[in-house]
Structure 1
Amino acid sequence: MNSIHLTPVQERSPGIGEITALLLPELGLRYSLRAQRLRHLAAEHAMGDYLRFVARIADVQQQLLDSAPLPAALKASLAARLEHPGAPLAGNADLSEPYWQELLRHLCEALYIDSSPTIRTTLDAVTALDAAALHAKAQALLAGRFAEVDSGQALFIWAALALYFTQLAAHLPASAKACVGEHRQHCPVCASTPVASLIMSGAQAGLRYLHCGLCESRWHMVRVKCSNCEATGNLDYWSLEQHNAAAKAESCGDCHSYLKVFYPEHDSALELVADDLASLALDGEVERQGFARSGLNPFLFPG
């Protein structure tokens, strides 16, 4: 079990020292800022067309966040999730709510306009799925069984799921405390894998937080430790720049995995999900060295 535990906010614990164990996502202009960063990174990028397309998805996510936010009834149900041990948003019960499928339908409708014939074919396939089929595909994705879902469909299904789970996480009436122990490979809020890790600036300067690829929560993990197997003795760091690289890859010789690390001190405009997607050249170099990525970017599914 993850050693970061969530508790109702009235039972707040100071945790260990001054380190905040968990940073729940802030909503606001989250997706607008991501879209802006993606369009900036797309200029003269080999993947420019795809980065601009993902920016369109982020635009629609922001529109839905503003126009169709999480219903009050779902917000009110969140406190009960903290009564049980483990990640409060893990499990399939979250998928029984029709809200996330409504988000998916609106997302597909908005993206259909001005999309290419290939993308429209995929969007048509997604909107043709009934509630049971969508539930099954969502279950497979959340369980990491990516081969069971067409990668094109997975992109849109996950975008709706992420908007849903990020809102759930943002409204959790919870605090967190760090307990003795390890097991921090997965998000303590929803049990998903991280996209990458971030070396914080500002109030948490120098601390490392893993960033969830589903609910976008961030949780603390000490540096110089593999984020996958938590070994400490066989780590290497890779980058495509010689000095002050904003993106590096941390590889582990024990489990042969890697995860990227981002440093906003070297690029204050950095947006983790966008910059992770735009730095796939680094992934390619590290994978050529025999390492496999331990996390998942929500806009890059296998297949």
Structure 2
Amino acid sequence: MSIRIIPQNQLEKSDQKTAEQIPPLLFPRLKNLYSRRAARLRQLAEKNPLGDYLRFAAVVASAQEIVLYDHPLQMDLYARLVETAATGKPPLDIHTLPRDPHWQRLLSSLIAEMKPEMTGQALASLENLEKASAAELETLASALFANDFAQISSDKSPFIWAALSIYWAQMAALIPGKARAEYGEQRQFCPVCASVPVASVVHMGSQEGLRYLHCNLCESEWYVVRSKCSNCEQTGDLHYWSLESELASIKAESCGDCGTYLKLLYQEKDPAVEPVADDLASLILDARMEQEGFARSSLNPFLFPGE
């Protein structure tokens, strides 16, 4: 099953009823999104060997919260949504959507917020980005979206991505439509922006027991049944791994067919789990999965490859 986003006024009544039963797509809820992430990162840092890096990520998330509300986005996406609904393409496709200079203004404000909190290499990276031209910044953003990590150093990637993520999350929250589940492929990519997940979350509450993949860019979540590999959609060779007991709030779902894994975070076992923070804090599980011969099918915005 694939997910298509269509304008609200084009939805049929039957589509609306289906969407109410199992929402195929959850657009980002921006209120306190980054402050919750920052708080979770700081909490997890207390007893984690990667505590310093988690606190660094918390500084970035806190700055994102401030910049998000200091720079609201006003944009009419209806024409774009109508155009992409006809083709089934993600409306905010990172490979085709022209980038507005708004994202660079976000980056500039992020740098100003973060500089007083940073030292060493992180501060040097911010100062280098501050001096970069608009064209150079666009080149770095394009390299990230193309997975051309040789063109952008890993010390700059989290800052560029942080600004791009705010921009894409703001756009996603403005989409004037709803999603409809259809037959199709490529469920491993976000139906809003075509990026990849950071992790998956098994929800509690109104979506109790349902697994949603959380986008590492636009912060949307899309539904994928738990009995299928989220990467290749095969069902025959799935296994679940954890570093604790069977009641662990974080597990890795591995697929023997495609050789990849994706983490599952269980809200019912820990309501405070947060996709980016808990994925970053559980890198020891990633090391175990790599030892077992599996590769990540996801990407954390604080773990970009590169020099």
The alignment's TM-score, normalised by the length of structure 2, stands at 0.93
2:227 is matched with which residue?
224
Secondary structure in 2 matching 1:167: helix
Rounded Cα–Cα distance in structure 2 between residues aligned with 1:193 and 1:7: 21
Residues 49/20 of structure 1: CA separation in 2 closer, same or farther (3 Å cut):
same
1:182 alignment counterpart: 185
Asked whether 1:292 is paired with 2:292, we answer no
User: Are residue 55 (structure 1) and residue 41 (structure 2) matched?
Assistant: no
- Comparing 272-281 and 111-120, the one that deviates more: 111-120
Q: Does structure 1 residue 3 correspond to structure 2 residue 2?
A: yes
Is residue 7–residue 178 contact of structure 2 (8 Å, CA) maintained in 1? Answer: yes
Tell me how far apart the structure 2 counterparts of residues 176 and 147 of structure 1 sit (CA, whole Å): 36
- Contact conserved, 1:248 with 1:262, CA < 8 A, in 2? yes
Distance across 2 between alignment mates of 1:222 and 1:96: 33
Q: CA offset at residue 26 of structure 1?
A: 0.6
Matched residues in 1 for 2:151 and 2:293: separation? 25
Per the TM alignment, residue 18 of structure 1 is displaced from its structure 2 partner at its CA by 1.3
- Separation (CA, whole Å) in 1 of partners of 2:228 and 2:93: 25
| Higher alpha-carbon deviation: 10-19 or 140-149 | 10-19
CA RMSD of aligned residues (A): 1.4
Aligned: 1:237 with 2:248: no
Query: 1:237 & 1:269 partners in 2: Cα distance?
Result: 21
Matches within 5 A, 1:9-88: 9-12=8-11, 13-14=15-16, 15=18, 18-70=21-73, 72=74, 74=75, 76=76, 78-83=77-82, 84=84, 85=87, 86-88=89-91
Letter in 2 for 1:213: N
Q: 1:153-181 CA deviation, whole Å, 9 max, x = no partner?
A: 11100000001101100111110000123
Greater displacement, 15-24 / 266-275: 15-24
Answer whether contact 1:20 1:220 (CA < 8 A) is retained. Answer: yes
Using the TM superposition, give the Cα deviation of residue 53 of structure 1 relative to its aligned residue in structure 2, in angstroms: 1.1
* CA distances 1:250-285 after superposition (whole Å, capped 9, x unpaired): 111111111101101000111111111111111110
SS of 1:152's equivalent?
coil
User: Could you report, residue by residue, the CA deviation over 1:227-249 in whole angstroms, capped at 9, with x for unpaired residues?
Assistant: 11111111111000113110000
SS in 1 for 2:222: strand
Q: CA deviation at 1:141?
A: 0.8
**What is the rounded CA distance, in whole Å, between the counterparts of 1:262 and 1:237 in structure 2?**
12
Q: Residue 17 of structure 1: CA displacement? A: 7.6
Q: CA deviation at 1:92?
A: 4.9
Aligned to 2:137: 134
What residue ranges of structure 2 are gaps of 5+ in the alignment? Answer: none
Shift of residue 145 of structure 1? 2.0
Task: Please report the TM-score for the alignment, with normalisation by the length of structure 1.
Answer: 0.95
Within the candidate set 179, 197, 201, 2:200 is matched to 197
8 Å contact from structure 1 (residues 95, 135) kept in 2: no
SS of match in other structure, 2:191: coil
1:200 shift after superposition:
1.1
Q: In the TM superposition, what whole-angstrom CA distance separates every residue of 1:170-220 from its partner, at most 9, and x where no partner exists? A: 111110000123321100000000111111111111111111000011011
SS at match of 2:38: helix
Counterpart for residue 247 of structure 1: 250
Q: Does 1:149 align with 2:149?
A: no
Structure 2 Cα separation of the partners of residues 293 and 217 of structure 1:
20
Percent of aligned pairs sharing the same letter: 50
Displaced runs of 4 or more, over 6 A: none
